[in-house]
C-alpha cells in the first residue's frame, strides 16, 4: 500500500484532526518563515499549544531525562518534592482556551503522566466544545480504568508509548506488567468506541528509539497492527553531549544571565559505551526492514535517519540532516505545570511569563519571547537544539 493511500485512510478516520494537522503543516512550512524574517521577533498565534499537565509520573523509564521522585539530591534527575505537585487549575486552563479558541490551535497534553492530572478529561471536553483538536500522549496505564470517559470526552488523538515486545517494554519502563496493562487499556478503548459507534480517539503507537530497544523497533509494526492502532510513529531519543551542554549553558549565561542546567539528565554515554556502540549495527538492520516495509499501517519517523546515517546521528551531534534552522518557537508554545510559558519544553531554563499572572498572548509576543526568537535567529540554532525533536518538524517520512 502506498504512503498516500495510508494517509488518506488515516485522514478519513478523523477529518477535523487531519485538517488541523494540514493547517499546522502549512503554518510550519510557510507562514513561520514569513514570521522568521521579521526584525521584531513577533509571531502569529501558535498552531500548537503544548500543556505539560504534571511533572508526576507512575513509571521510571530508562531513556527519560525528566526528574523523578525518590532520586537523591544531587542526582541529575532530582527535583524537590514540590516540583511533582505543581498544578494549574482546570479553570485557569479554560480561561486560556477561551483566549485562544478564535484561531483553533491544536492542544497537546502530556507530562509526566498526563492522566495523573485528575481534571484532564474535563479539560479535554471543554476544549472540544470550543472546537479545538486535542491530543494526549500517555504511557497507557490509566486507559483501562478511564476508557469510557476518554471516549466520551471527544478526544481526537491518543498517543501511547510502547518500546517493543513485552519483555523489552517492561524493562525500559522499569515495571513488570506494564505491557499487559497497556494492551488491556487499548482493547478497552476499542470496545468503548464500538459501543458508541465512533472513530475517535485515533489510537497512535509511539516508539521512542533508544539504546534500550535499538534491535527491536521493527517489532512495533506487528505489535501496532495486533493492538488495532491507527498509526505508528517513531521519535529518536533526545540527547546531548557534555561539551555541547556546557557550551549551551555558557551561552545562556552570557545572553540571558540564567543557569541553564536542564541538559544534564540528557547527557548520553552511548558514544563512549562500547556495548551500546555495538548495537548501531542492530538498528541499521531494523531501519532496512522499514525501507522494505509493506504494511498497511501508516508509519512515520522523525527525524528520518537512513541506515547509513545512524553512526553520524550519534557521533556528530552538530549534523542536523538539513534541519539547520529552528522555526518551532514561531509556531509552538509550551505551558509547564506551574503555569510558566517556555519556548523549549524539556530544557525549560528560559521562562517567558506565567499564565497565572498574564494572558497567554501577552506572553507569546512579549519582550522575553521576542528576545529569545531574535537571539535564536542570529545563530539559527542554540547548542542544545541539535537533537531536539521540534527541530525536525518538517523532517518526517511516511513509510
pLDDT band at residue 41 under the 50/70/90 scheme: very high
Sign of the torsion angle spanned by Cα atoms 159, 165, 171, 174: positive
Task: Say if residue 271's pLDDT is above 60.
Answer: no
394, 323 contact by CB (below 8 A): yes
Return the number of other C-beta atoms located less than 10 Å from residue 152's C-beta. Answer: 15
The three-class DSSP label of residue 71 is coil
79, 67 contact by CB (below 8 A): yes
- If DSSP states are collapsed to H, E and C, what string results for 222-243? HHHHHCCCCEEEEEECCCECHH
Share of the chain above pLDDT 70, in %: 95
pLDDT at 249: 97
pLDDT, tens only, 60-74: 999 898 999 989 998
Task: Say if residue 133's pLDDT is above 80.
Answer: yes
pLDDT at 14: 78
Which strand (E) or helix (H) includes residue 6? helix 3-13
Q: Which residues contact 312 (CB under 8 A, 6 or more apart)?
A: 319
Q: 34-66 b/e with 16+ CB inside 10 Å = b?
A: ebbeeeebebebbbbbbbbbbbbbebebebbbb
pLDDT at 281: 79
Q: What share of the chain is helix, strand, coil (3-state, %, to 5)?
A: 50, 15, 40
Task: Say if residue 9's pLDDT is above 80.
Answer: no
168, 220 contact by CB (below 8 A): no
Which strand (E) or helix (H) includes residue 332? strand 332-335
pLDDT, tens only, 347-379: 899 999 999 999 999 999 999 999 999 999 999
C-alpha to C-alpha distance for 287 and 221, rounded to whole angstroms: 12
pLDDT at 6: 61
Instruction: Please return the burial class of 175, using the count of CB atoms within 10 Å of its CB with bins 0-12, 13-18 and 19+.
Output: middle
In 3D space, the residue among 139, 149, 170 whose CA is nearest the CA of residue 56 turns out to be 139
Sign of the torsion angle spanned by Cα atoms 132, 138, 140, 142: negative
Q: 285-314 b/e with 16+ CB inside 10 Å = b?
A: ebbeebeeeeeebbbbbbbbbebebbeebb
Mean pLDDT of 319-345: 94
What's the residue count for the chain?
A: 399
C-alpha distances out from residue 187 to 25, 142, 250, Å: 31, 12, 49
C-alpha to C-alpha distance for 6 and 230, rounded to whole angstroms: 10
154, 124 contact by CB (below 8 A): yes
pLDDT band at residue 10 under the 50/70/90 scheme: confident
pLDDT, tens only, 183-214: 999 999 999 999 999 999 999 999 999 888 98
Task: Say if residue 294's pLDDT is above 80.
Answer: no
Fill in the DSSP letter of residue 84: G
392, 303 contact by CB (below 8 A): yes
Mean pLDDT of 296-316: 90
Which residue in this structure is represented by grid cell 478519513? 12
pLDDT at 267: 87
Task: Say if residue 277's pLDDT is above 70.
Answer: no
Task: Say if residue 394's pLDDT is above 90.
Answer: no
Instruction: Please return the burial class of 359, using the count of CB atoms within 10 Å of its CB with bins 0-12, 13-18 and 19+.
Output: middle
Between CA 226 and CA 224, with CA 222 as vertex, the angle to 5 degrees is 55
C-alpha to C-alpha distance for 385 and 346, rounded to whole angstroms: 11
C-alpha distances out from residue 363 to 38, 40, 52, 88, 343, Å: 18, 15, 17, 17, 11
Amino acid at each position: 500500500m502506498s504512503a498516500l493511500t495510508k494517509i488518506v485512510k488515516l485522514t478519513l478516520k478523523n477529518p477535523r484532526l487531519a485538517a488541523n494537522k494540514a493547517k499546522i503543516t502549512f503554518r510550519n512550512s510557510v507562514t513561520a518563515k514569513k514570521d522568521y524574517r521579521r526584525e521584531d521577533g513577533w509571531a502569529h498565534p501558535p498552531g500548537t499549544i503544548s500543556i505539560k499537565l504534571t511533572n508526576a509520573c507512575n513509571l521510571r523509564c530508562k531513556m527519560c531525562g525528566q526528574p523523578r521522585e525518590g532520586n537523591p539530591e544531587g542526582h541529575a534527575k532530582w527535583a524537590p518534592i514540590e516540583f511533582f505537585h505543581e498544578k494549574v487549575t482546570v479553570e485557569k486552563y479554560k480561561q486560556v482556551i477561551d483566549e485562544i479558541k478564535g484561531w483553533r490551535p491544536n492542544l497537546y497534553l502530556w507530562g509526566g503522566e498526563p492522566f495523573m492530572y485528575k481534571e484532564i478529561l474535563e479539560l479535554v471536553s471543554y476544549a472540544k466544545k470550543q472546537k479545538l483538536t486535542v491530543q494526549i500522549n500517555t504511557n497507557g496505564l490509566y486507559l483501562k480504568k478511564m476508557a469510557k470517559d476518554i471516549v466520551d470526552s471527544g478526544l481526537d488523538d491518543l498517543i501511547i508509548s510502547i518500546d517493543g515486545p513485552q519483555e523489552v517494554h517492561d524493562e525500559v519502563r522499569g515495571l513488570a506488567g506494564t505491557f499487559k496493562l497497556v494492551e488491556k487499556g487499548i482493547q478497552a478503548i476499542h470496545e468503548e468506541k464500538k459501543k458508541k459507534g465512533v472513530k475517535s480517539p485515533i489510537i497512535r503507537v509511539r516508539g521512542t528509539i533508544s539504546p534500550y530497544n535499538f534491535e527491536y523497533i521493527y517489532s512495533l509494526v506487528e505489535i501496532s497492527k495486533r493492538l488495532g492502532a491507527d498509526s505508528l510513529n517513531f521519535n529518536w531519543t533526545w540527547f546531548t553531549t557534555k561539551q555541547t551542554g556546557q557550551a549551551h549553558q555558557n551561552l545562556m549565561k552570557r545572553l540571558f544571565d540564567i543557569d541553564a542546567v536542564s541538559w544534564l539528565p540528557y547527557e548520553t554515554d552511548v558514544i563512549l559505551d562500547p556495548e551500546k556502540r555495538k548495537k548501531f549495527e542492530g538498528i541499521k538492520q531494523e531501519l532496512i526492514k522499514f525501507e522494505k516495509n509493506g504494511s498497511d499501517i501508516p508509519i512515520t519517523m522523525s527525524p528520518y535517519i537512513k541506515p547509513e546515517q545512524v553512526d553520524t546521528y550519534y557521533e556528530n551531534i552538530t549534523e542536523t540532516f538539513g534541519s539547520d534552522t529552528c522555526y518551532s518557537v514561531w509556531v509552538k508554545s509550551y505551558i509547564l505545570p506551574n503555569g510558566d510559558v517556555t519556548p523549549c519544553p524539556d530544557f525549560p531554563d528560559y521562562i517567558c511569563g506565567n499564565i497565572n499572572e498574564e494572558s497567554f498572548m501577552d506572553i507569546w509576543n512579549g519582550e522575553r519571547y521576542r528576545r529569545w526568537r531574535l537571539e535564536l535567529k542570529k545563530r539559527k540554532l542554540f547548542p542544545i537544539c541539535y537533537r531536539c525533536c521540534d527541530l525536525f518538524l518538517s523532517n518526517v517520512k511516511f513509510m
